[in-house]
Amino acid sequence: MTYSIAHLSDSHLRAGALASSPAEALHTTLRSVLAIDPPPDCVVITGDLVEHGTAEEYQVLQEVVAGFPLPLKLVTGNHDEPGELVAAFGESALLGQSRSTHYAAEFTGFALVVLDSWQAGVPSGRLGAEQLAWLDGALASLRKKPVFVALHHPPAPVGIPFLDGMRLEDEDELADIIARHPQVVRVLAGHVHRTVTAPFAGTTLAVAPSTYLASGLTLNGSIPHYRADPTSYLLHLGDGPQWVTHVVPVSHASAPIAGF
C-alpha cells in the first residue's frame, strides 16, 4: 500500500487589511491537496504559519483551516510565537493533542516527529540539547515504521548565502541523531520559500516552497527579495523505506482544486 504526506510551508498569514492575499493562497493550496486521489494521509505546514505571531493572526489561521477534512499538523517557524500558537491550538490534533510545539504523531504507514527551531529575536534556528534528547528518544520508540522529521529551519546550506546565514545553528547535533535512526526517510523544512532537496545525515532533506511568495534565487549574497512566482507544495509518496517527492503546482490555470 502507498501512503503520502502533503508538505506545505511559510503561509505568513496576517490580520487586518493585509490578511486576504496570504489567507487565500493557503486556502487554495489546501483545496489543491484535496484534489489528489487518493487524498494524502497527512498534511504538514513547516512553519512561519503567520507573520507576527499574534493571537489575531492565529485566529485567521483557525478560520482558514476550519473544516479541512484531512489530518493537519503545524510546525513553529521564526515568524511564529510558540506561546500564542499553543494558546490557539494546544491539545488539538493540529499540535498532536499536546501543549508543546514539539510532538510526535503516528499514522498507519509512517510517523511524523515535529520539532520547534524557534529562537526569540533572531531569524536563525536552534533546537537545543533538551529537545534533541527528546528527538533521540522519540525516534528510538518509532523504529518499526518510516519517520518524517519536520522543522522550520533547514539543517544544511541551500546555496543562497543570505538564507544560509539564518539556518539551523545546531545542525551537526541533529545530523548525529538522524544518522543513528535509518528509518528517517525525510527531514522536512521550510524557511527558504523555494523547493530545495539535499542529502542530509543518510536521508534526504526536502524544503517546501511558500504557499504565498517565493524567494529569488540569489546566489551572490544579496537579499533574495520575495517574488510572486507560481506557488506549489511537495507530496512525499511511498511505503516502507522507499519514498519519492513530487512538486505539485497550485497557482496556474489548470491546477485542480476541491472544496471544503
- Alpha carbon of residue 145 to chain centroid: 20
Report the pLDDT averaged over residues 149-165: 96
Task: Convert the pLDDT of each residue in 215-246 to its tens digit.
Answer: 999 999 888 888 888 899 999 999 988 999 99
pLDDT at 229: 87
Report the pLDDT averaged over residues 129-155: 97
Under the banding of pLDDT at 50, 70 and 90, the label for residue 145 is: very high
pLDDT at 259: 78
Under the banding of pLDDT at 50, 70 and 90, the label for residue 107 is: very high
pLDDT at 201: 98
pTM above 0.85, yes or no: yes
Helix (H) or strand (E) holding 174: helix 171-179
Residue-averaged pLDDT of the chain: 95
Q: Contact 77/51 with Cβ under 8 angstroms? A: no
Report the pLDDT averaged over residues 126-140: 98
Handedness of CA 20, 26, 29, 34 (dihedral sign): negative
Q: Contact 209/216 with Cβ under 8 angstroms? A: no
d(CA 49, CA 211): 10
Report the pLDDT averaged over residues 88-98: 95
pLDDT at 164: 95
pLDDT at 254: 63
C-alpha cell of residue 76? 513553529
Task: Convert the pLDDT of each residue in 16-44 to its tens digit.
Answer: 876 789 999 999 999 999 999 999 999 99
Q: Contact 169/126 with Cβ under 8 angstroms? A: yes
Task: List, in order of start, the domains of the chain with CATH numbers.
Answer: 3-249 (3.60.21.10)
Task: Convert the pLDDT of each residue in 110-120 to its tens digit.
Answer: 999 999 999 99
Mutual angle of helices 128-140 and 171-179, in 10-degree steps: 10
pLDDT at 114: 98
